[in-house]
């Protein structure tokens, strides 16, 4: 039996279309872009591991409190009612990705993607336990021995410890981390907290320790569609074939022109440092995460052989073709304008967000009730949400066309910060007064200490038709 | 471990075609479950499901969120598997 490939070629059915994975042993590299990447790792992972330990207003500065259903992000407190802000933030993040990719290529992949930064740390730990590239190659090729077992075991110990710490920190964003830490020490962690710590730790270990570049190559959706955001003016890392070819080794100090060779000395340093194992000299490939390790490696070699830097560099296709690179182009203007508009809208909406919310639910058990004194009564459950970080005393009033009265007469509610106060309110109106039939009434709450803090909600008042 | 084209090949780390398909299903359904959980629990509180009396316990809340997420993940994984199965139509067999 045979199967037909894309190009119409006939291949045996048992033949796999997947190439066997080759373990990549990226060589350590130094240079300006590596320094930038290292800084990004320290800043981003530093924030991840330290933020939950920083307190603000006697609470964790960043806490997604699932129990209270409140998200604390520094001064901002988001409630389920503020879901729109989270959605807005996600849209902003997505659009930023589009914008920065169109301008400068895969900046996200190179410097900020969690996969990149955690893989970098796992690589550091691997080097710490097993040594540099040459030693790791030799170690993997060597038969099992006590030394190999110790090095491999040491690496696994470092990886697992780091992964568990990562998992613990992750749970610490959802459950106060100081209390969580105490309970870990007392072996009193809940079953779900244990599960998520292990789950996230395992995911970190698997993705950054074992799979590494395979996540970018096979699992990352962004790697597949980022090509749609690229054009000939997008910043990419590329090999200057015009300058480098024909490549070949030559003696130190030899005149390249006389030998007929280009500037590439074919040292393969760019291949050895690549974390995804590609050869940038073959052109732009989707596996390239634009980490610029090849740029640093090539610059180092160019310095050594006394040739100008930049054989592999950040550039654009237009620049390579000796054409003008346009930074401002329609897609950049569209992405940039949308991003600016949404960002300004987000800030304005956030600034105008009311620190108090009011929810009014009619009693569903009875439409209305006729009282002995000839009035009609509707019962409501009123929920006052104090979204601020201070307690407030709220006064509630009801307005509408007609003579409405409420029970309790002067409803005052003291609502603690970040909490909901549910109250039962009876609203009454004469059955046959100036107004009859159903109508709309307006509930209003005002903070007694600050009249600017107020909220209103409209509801139906049901009454028999005349 | 063997050597292929001058590069050492570690077969233990080769995901293989089947494992890659599993990876695609698991990963894409995980992303869908993350978004689904955010959306679902923005509108439904655990107390709406387990009742306020039981909802006072933190572990009950976390359990509801966790089961919600895992349930959505399973659902999305089933959908992804069916999509993958149907994508590989009879002409591929």
Per-residue pLDDT tens for A161-215? 999 999 999 999 999 999 999 999 999 888 899 999 999 999 999 999 998 888 8
Chain B residues within an 8 Å CB radius of A63: none
Across the interface, which of A3, A140, A218 has its CB nearest the CB of B20? A218
> Inter-chain contact A66–B20, Cβ cutoff 8 Å?
no
Residue B8 lies in a domain: no
pTM: 0.79
Q: How far apart are CA A157 and CA A168, in angstroms?
A: 16
Q: What is the distance in angstroms between the Cα of B64 and the nearest Cα belonging to chain A?
A: 10
CA distance A335 to B64: 39
* Helices A146-172 and A191-204, packing angle to 10 deg: 130
What confidence tens digit (pLDDT) does each residue in A8-25 have? 344 444 455 555 667 888
Q: Residue A245's pLDDT is what?
A: 86
In a domain, B50, yes or no: yes
Chain A segment 207-226 residues within 8 A of B by beta carbon are 210-211, 214, 218-219, 221
Contacts of B63 in chain A (CB under 8 A): 191-192
Provide the pLDDT for residue B4: 45
Within a domain: residue B45? yes
**Which residue does chain B place closest to A140, by CA atoms?**
B1
B91 CA: distance to closest CA in chain A (Å):
9
The top-scoring range by mean pLDDT among A1-5, A241-245, B14-18, B40-44 is A241-245
Locate the DSSP E strands across A147-245: 236-239
List CB contacts (< 8 A) between B23 and chain A.
Answer: 218-219
* Chain A stretch 141-160, residues whose beta carbon is closer than 8 A to a beta carbon of chain B: 141
Does some domain include residue B7? no
Instruction: Evaluate whether residue B2 is within a structural domain.
Output: no
Contact flag A214-B15 (C-beta cutoff 8 Å):
yes
Using a CB-CB cut-off of 8 Å, the residues of chain B touching A140 are 1, 8, 10
Q: Which residue of B has its CA nearest to A79?
A: B42
Rg (CA), chain B: 20
Interface of A with B in 55-84 (CB under 8 A): 66-67, 69, 80, 83
Q: Which residue of B has its CA nearest to A191?
A: B59
- The range of the structural domain enclosing residue B23 comes to 15-92
**Into how many domains does chain B fold?**
1
pLDDT of residue B10: 47
Q: To probe the interface with A, which of B19, B40, B42 has the most A CB atoms within 10 Å?
A: B42
Average pLDDT (A98-112) is: 90
Across the interface, do B8 and A83 touch by the CB < 8 Å criterion? no
Task: Evaluate if residue A156 carries a pLDDT over 50.
Answer: yes
Candidate from B1, B4, B43 with C-beta closest to A140: B1
Count of CB atoms situated within 10 Å of the CB of B72: 20
Residues linked to residue A394 through DSSP beta bridges, in sequence order: A413, A447
- A20: nearest CB among B14, B28, B58: B14
Structural domain includes residue B9: no
B13 touches chain A (CB under 8 A): yes
- Note the pLDDT of residue A346: 92
Q: Nearest Cβ partner of B8 from A69, A140, A219? A: A140
The answer to whether residue B30 sits within a structural domain is yes
Is A36's pLDDT higher than 90? yes
> Which one, of A380, A454, A377, A387, lies nearest residue A416 by Cα?
A387
pLDDT of residue A272: 93
| Cβ–Cβ gap A20/B65 under 8 Å | no
Q: Which of B7, B17, B42 faces A22 most closely, judged by CB atoms?
A: B7
pLDDT truncated to tens, each residue of chain B (93 aa)?
444 444 444 444 445 677 778 888 998 999 999 989 988 888 887 777 766 555 456 667 888 889 999 999 999 999 999 998 888 766 655
Of B24, B38, B66, which has the smallest distance from its Cβ to A195's Cβ? B66
Least confident of A122-136, A217-231, A320-334, B38-52: B38-52
Residue A94, pLDDT above cutoff 70: yes
Nearest residue to A226 (alpha-carbon basis) of A328, A103, A90, A87? A103
Asked if residue A361 has pLDDT above 70, the reply is: yes
Instruction: Say yes or no for a CB contact (<8 Å) between B62 and A80.
Output: no
User: Chain A to chain B, count of Cβ pairs less than 8 Å apart?
Assistant: 75
Residue in B with minimal Cα distance to A213: B13
**What residues contact A438, with CB distance under 8 A and at least 6 apart?**
A460, A461, A462, A463, A465
Residue among B9, B38, B62 whose CB faces A86 most closely = B38
Which residue in B7, B50, B92 has the most chain A C-beta atoms within 10 A of its own C-beta, making it the best mutation to test that interface?
B7
Could you count the other beta carbons within 10 Å of the beta carbon of residue A204? 24
Q: Is residue B46 part of a domain?
A: yes
Asked whether A301 and A247 are in contact (CB, 8 A), the reply is no
Nearest CA in chain A to B26: A219
Burial A247-275 (b: 16+ CB within 10 A, else e): beeeeeeeeeeeeebbbbbebebbbbbbb
């Amino acid at each position: 039996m045979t199967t037909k490939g894309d190009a119409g070629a006939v291949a045996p059915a048992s033949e796999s279309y997947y190439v066997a994975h080759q373990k990549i042993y990226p060589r350590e590299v130094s240079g300006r872009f590596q320094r930038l990447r290292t800084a990004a790792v320290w800043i981003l992972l530093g924030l991840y591991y330290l933020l939950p330990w920083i307190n603000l207003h006697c609470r964790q500065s960043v806490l997604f409190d699932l129990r209270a259903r409140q998200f604390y992000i520094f001064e901002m407190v988001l409630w389920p009612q503020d879901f729109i802000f989270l959605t807005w933030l996600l849209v902003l993040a997505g659009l930023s990705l589009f914008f920065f990719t169109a301008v400068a290529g895969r900046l996200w992949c190179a410097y900020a993607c969690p996969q990149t930064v955690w893989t970098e740390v796992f690589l550091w730990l691997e080097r710490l336990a097993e040594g540099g590239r040459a030693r790791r190659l030799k170690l993997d090729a060597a038969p099992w021995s006590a030394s190999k077992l110790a090095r491999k075991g040491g690496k696994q110990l470092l990886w697992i410890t780091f992964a568990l710490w990562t998992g613990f920190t992750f749970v610490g964003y959802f459950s106060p981390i100081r209390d969580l830490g105490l309970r870990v020490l007392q072996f009193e962690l809940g079953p779900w907290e244990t599960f998520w710590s292990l789950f996230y730790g395992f995911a970190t270990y698997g993705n950054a320790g074992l799979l590494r570049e395979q996540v970018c190559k096979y699992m990352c959706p962004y790697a597949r569609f980022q090509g749609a955001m690229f054009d000939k003016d997008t910043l990419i890392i590329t090999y200057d074939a015009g300058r480098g070819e024909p490549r070949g080794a030559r003696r130190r100090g030899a005149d390249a022109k006389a030998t007929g060779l280009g500037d590439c000395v074919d040292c393969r340093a760019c291949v050895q440092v690549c974390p995804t194992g590609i050869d940038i000299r073959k052109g732009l490939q989707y596996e390239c995460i634009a980490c610029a390790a090849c740029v640093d490696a090539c610059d180092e070699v160019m310095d050594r052989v006394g040739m100008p830097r930049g054989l592999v560099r950040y550039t654009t296709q237009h620049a390579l073709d000796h054409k003008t690179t346009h930074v401002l182009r329609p897609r950049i203007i569209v992405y940039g304008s949308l991003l600016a508009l949404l960002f300004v809208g987000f800030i304005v909406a956030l600034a105008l967000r009311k620190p108090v919310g009011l929810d009014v639910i009619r009693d569903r058990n009875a439409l209305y009730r006729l009282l002995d004194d000839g009035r009609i009564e509707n019962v409501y459950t009123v929920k006052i949400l104090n979204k601020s970080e201070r307690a407030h005393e709220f006064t509630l009033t009801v307005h509408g066309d007609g003579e409405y009265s409420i029970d309790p007469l002067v409803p005052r509610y003291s609502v603690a910060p970040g909490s909901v106060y549910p109250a039962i309110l009876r609203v009454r109106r004469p059955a046959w007064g100036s107004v009859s039939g159903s109508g709309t009434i307006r509930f209003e709450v005002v903070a007694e200490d600050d009249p600017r803090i107020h909220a209103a909600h409209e509801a139906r008042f049901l009454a028999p038709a005349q | 471990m063997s050597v292929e084209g001058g590069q050492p090949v570690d077969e233990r780390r080769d995901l293989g075609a089947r494992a890659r398909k599993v990876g695609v299903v698991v990963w894409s359904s995980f992303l869908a479950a993350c978004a689904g959980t955010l959306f679902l629990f923005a509108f439904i509180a655990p107390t709406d499901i387990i009742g306020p009396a039981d909802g006072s316990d933190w572990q009950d809340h976390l359990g509801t969120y966790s089961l919600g997420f895992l349930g959505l993940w399973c659902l999305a994984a089933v959908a992804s598997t069916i999509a993958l199965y149907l994508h590989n139509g009879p002409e591929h067999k």
